[in-house]
Structure 1
């Protein structure tokens, strides 16, 4: 029985559109990620999961500890449900959420918020909160070359040098209402960019990543040493799914962050150092046949965030050999699919897709149907299914 037959059999009683999670694939991906981390704990990126029951299951696996949330309201909610050790990966200007954090002693113990400037410190400290707030310094991990004419990596923190990090750390320590808990730096140009690409562009990516890894390992070590002279740090976090083994090899790093590799979306097919198994998929029904070589499915316009382009579209996965119409692409209410396989599809058949990214799929579906072998064994709510939409 091939994968399409297995998925169709498991979900025969469901009416598409729906989303599934292949638990055998998820467990295999988790085990491989833990192996790559070389004994260092993986903090689970909730943005890539967006399903609380799955977060809980992953955290119960060997090699995983702590959550990296994407908003403070999300972190507050997760802690209220019993999860612990939650790092908010992005700075917040949500005064109401900060007041809730600083007024709850349990939440204040479990949640760490991100800062990268004195302005963030002023905002938090100015609220006069009854409980001290744990903070983490976000360090720029981007790569620059040719006197700054080339830059690769996300535009995140303005803190790049050891002296800048030490100055901000000293400003945190000087404020009784704040506690410096850790450092974080995310090398998006390595962790989020596949290196298994053909031609000149692929060679450029591999050159950039090699240079960036060496530069960042030195700089991250120097920054960590400078900050540790000012305050004890509980953790130094770095990396992502695409760089787990590389980031974990750095002495300064105490934990890595990852999440997308659990679902293994389309964008993670293009790495040389690891191969995952597609775990999260969604099914759409064929609803009409405009011509013998075209099969049109309902919906499908689930574009991924980031710079627009073909790589942000879901992948028509099963049956293989389907492609988008260049004039329509993936549409909000209908998506025509072309290719030899389209001729064999009939109204009522289903087409299986993979999202370009991981957790963004869960913003489209209230539940995930969990598959073991060729059976659906459970249905669990996504964040949206629990009535939670944080962004």
Structure 2
């Protein structure tokens, strides 16, 4: 009992918490929390010894720190807060998960599960814990005292009122992402950068496999809102993280698409992945064509050569033609055979043969020679229909959210998602 008392009073006696007026005492072998002259029983269990054990272990680990995340260079571990942005569609509840994720990379592994006791204790000893005391522990203590007063006024026994468990003094069951590395750290700042980059890749792998969507954050927890607790994890889902670097901006667009609540917002965010390479792709094509002339030893400043050069610039300058820019990206990054096989798997075998929000799509059978052009025109027409609500294009049909016009968007949403994934993969290095 003395070990528990020393442990708690040492923390609550520090300057950042002493003004809250909480102390701990023991009486007849039982632990009590003292608050405003009242004694609130704190129930101990055999499992609570782990808090003392881990606290002693962390005192010996001089590299263990908490700075919005838990870090132990000695154990080559960083643990981060994560927020579940959206649950996988096959989950029973958006707030509860029984799944623990394990993702293995080259020289590192990542586990997403309930918070470790090491991070619990590090958080307990941090300045951030003050907010937990004010908005969780004190509120719970005050509710307990109100119930005691109410029971006593009605002559009811107060022994049936649940007070506090020792574990209630700690934040414990929030989800976190743990990054374990094999190699020695270059330094804390550089390792943090590396780990966060790998964590983004891990999140993308989960999203790509239709699992939960997560995001990490380094800010303090907001204890003004209710905590969503996790049930015990009894299933581990494992993935391999490719040894490549993805463009982090593309991953953010992709994540935004995955967590979007409407099909039109999701479609636009996937489309942003394609749009991101519009200028890069068209400029690359223009540069290649200019090099064809300029690198030719016979090229000179004669009028005929200059006219050909100007003609080339005009022909390949797509800056004011987004349709050509889109097709440039598709031809650059997408294999026609792969796209054709995928749209066939969705039972899309020909062009729509109708106006899609003002754009007439030919009703041609799709093959490797035309699939990129027809699919490109189709998704561009859908994008325009979502973005523009006016009748500027004199279209007979407009896109209207939450109406039958969403049917077309839903039909081609998997297609633009497939293209976005291929671009993310193709542009990795």
TM-score tier by shorter-chain length is: under 0.3
What's the TM-score, normalizing by structure 2? Answer: 0.20
Higher radius of gyration, 1 or 2: 2
| Greater RCO (Cα-Cα under 8 Å, separation 6 or more) | 1
Q: Which has the higher strand share?
A: 1
Q: Which one has the bigger helix percentage?
A: 2
